[in-house]
Amino acid sequence: MTFSIVARSADGESWGVAVASKFLAVGSAVPAAVAGVGAIATQADANVAYKGQALAHMDDGATASVALQRLLEDDEGRDHRQVGIVDVDGGAASHTGHACLAWAGSVTGEGYAIQGNILTGEDVVTAVETAWLASDPQAPLARRLLDALTAGDEAGGDSRGRQSAALLVVREGAGYGGHDDIAVDLRVDDHESPIPELTRLLGLSELYLTASTEEEQVPVTPELEAELEAFAQAQGARDFQAWVGTENYEMRVAPDLAWIDQQILDIVRSTPERSAEGGSES
């Protein structure tokens, strides 16, 4: 019902899953990941219990291969399952039960496991792998995963059509405000073009929910601070930080206004002033 890629980033700090399917809300069933532990995709006749079980095994020190072996030996439905796992060190394992509907199969390599069933053909898995291996190892894991998933979709994807897609990436301290490890958690549950829609959402997530890198941070001088405060007042905000909170840009402006993200500064400088109270004259 699905094709997916499970992978670890080249720097060993992130783990994630990208998945697409002709299935409602595939993100609710297939992917799971824990920073510093690993990631898993469970599909075909998905056993959702695999997610917690595999991550628990790996948290206890099991490799991806050992975790997979333990899942299968305890599951009488193993012949109908498909699963891919990547562990903390980038070890990968994948299983396709012989009862999975054709075309079904998988491929693994250092740091990734790619699998799919009811696909248009083997070309789908091959395209995902080719795109993954050709991508920049230094690029954000979410982008690499989504680009690889897109390649599989363009190669044919699910033979039944398209309905949903999801992207999950974890990294220590990468969550909103740095309070959890969820770097990206996006789902398109029912859409005629789920992967392009997921791509659009990832762009928004990067703007609103991803912390600025040092390269993106512009130091706020007294002159720039005065400009920002004047802008906020022109927009009807109490002060600039109030405007930031209203627009949901907290991840991209320092709480003490020591710096502002270049993207947000560009938005500020391209935003027209509000018209005077009561509206502008025509």
Are 100 and 22 a contacting pair, CB within 8 Å? no
Q: Is the confidence at residue 211, as pLDDT, over 80?
A: yes
pLDDT of amino acid 280: 41
Structure tokens at 2: 């699905």
The DSSP bridge partners found for residue 185 are 168
pLDDT of amino acid 272: 87
Q: Is the confidence at residue 1, as pLDDT, over 90?
A: no
Q: Is the confidence at residue 276, as pLDDT, over 50?
A: no
Are 85 and 113 a contacting pair, CB within 8 Å? yes
- Write down the CATH number for the domain with range 2-208: 3.60.20.10
Structure tokens at 225: 């601070």
CA distance 97 to 42: 12
Share of the chain above pLDDT 90, in %: 94
Are 57 and 69 a contacting pair, CB within 8 Å? no
Half-sphere exposure of 76 (CA within 13 A, CB side): 0
Categorize the per-residue pLDDT at 273 as very low, low, confident or very high, splitting at 50, 70 and 90: confident
Q: What Rg value do the Cα atoms of the chain yield, rounded? A: 22
Angle of helix 141-154 relative to helix 194-208, nearest 10 degrees, comes to 170
Q: Mean pLDDT across the stretch 240-268? A: 97
Q: What is the pTM of this model?
A: 0.91
| Mean pLDDT for the chain overall | 95
**For the chain, counts of helices (H) and of strands (E):** 8, 12
pLDDT of amino acid 274: 67
**Helix, strand, coil shares of the chain as percentages rounded to 5?**
40, 25, 35
Categorize the per-residue pLDDT at 281 as very low, low, confident or very high, splitting at 50, 70 and 90: very low
Q: Which ranges in the chain are annotated with CATH 3.60.20.10?
A: 2-208
Are 67 and 75 a contacting pair, CB within 8 Å? no
Question: For 157, which DSSP code?
Answer: -
Q: Which helix (H) or strand (E) holds 165?
A: strand 164-171
